[in-house]
Chains A and B, each alone.
Chain A
Amino acid sequence: EPEVTQTPSHQVTQMGQEVILRCVPISNHLYFYWYRQILGQKVEFLVSFYNNEISEKSEIFDDQFSVERPDGSNFTLKIRSTKLEDSAMYFCASRGAGGPQETQYFGPGTRLLVL
């Protein structure tokens, strides 16, 4: 069964450093998402991406964040200068083109720890 994959599974970085989180969505999916979950809290939407551009972003997704689909398979989230409060689990998700009723399938997550 196709699945969303994410690398790395864990990342430890120093405050102020740049990190890139990588995702490989399900191959025939067209909508891609990033969410984050601070430890013990709910899952929060960051950004959605369709047709090579951001379709929606949340207030959390400020200028420090960017997303890219550098090739036909990868979808990346870059945090330019990490802060302590960026420590969280980051989930990538993807869905097909059928509309918002389509199920989003999530990757296993990348746990980011900023020291």
Chain B
Amino acid sequence: AQKVTQAQTEISVVEKEDVTLDCVYETRDTTYYLFWYKQPPSGELVFLIRRNSFDEQNEISGRYSWNFQKSTSSFNFTITASQVVDSAVYFCALSGRNQGGKLIFGQGTELSVKP
């Protein structure tokens, strides 16, 4: 069975602090795909990044970076110099090689960035 665990339910930081959101996954598939989505207070789900299981290269996009480690089944997300606008719920999700491609979401981490 596939499973995504985001152990941090809530994180609160002060603006300009760095913060890392943890994501651990379980799957028997050898090919799988990992995603991060942001859900701001307005409620929509905004795609942030996708990672294929065969590509362990870390990625940086502005203040956002992702660390994918197959050895520990983790796909962690770091925000550098956090801003108030980063306040949202962040979801990690997993899709297996099944062509249907359903997403299995973690419980989400609510990030609160205070001024």
Contact = CB atoms under 8 A, between A and B. Distances in A.
B50 A31 contact: no
A41 B39 CA distance: 12
How many chain A residues sit at the interface, stated as a range, is: 20 to 34
A104 B103 contact: yes
How many chain B residues sit at the interface, stated as a range, is: 20 to 34
Interface string B29-52: 000010101000001111100101
B101 A100 contact: yes
Contacts of B107: 41-42
17 contacts: A41-B107, A42-B91, A42-B108, A43-B91, A43-B105, A44-B105, A45-B103, A55-B99, A89-B43, A93-B103, A100-B99, A100-B100, A104-B47, A106-B47, A107-B44, A109-B45, A111-B43
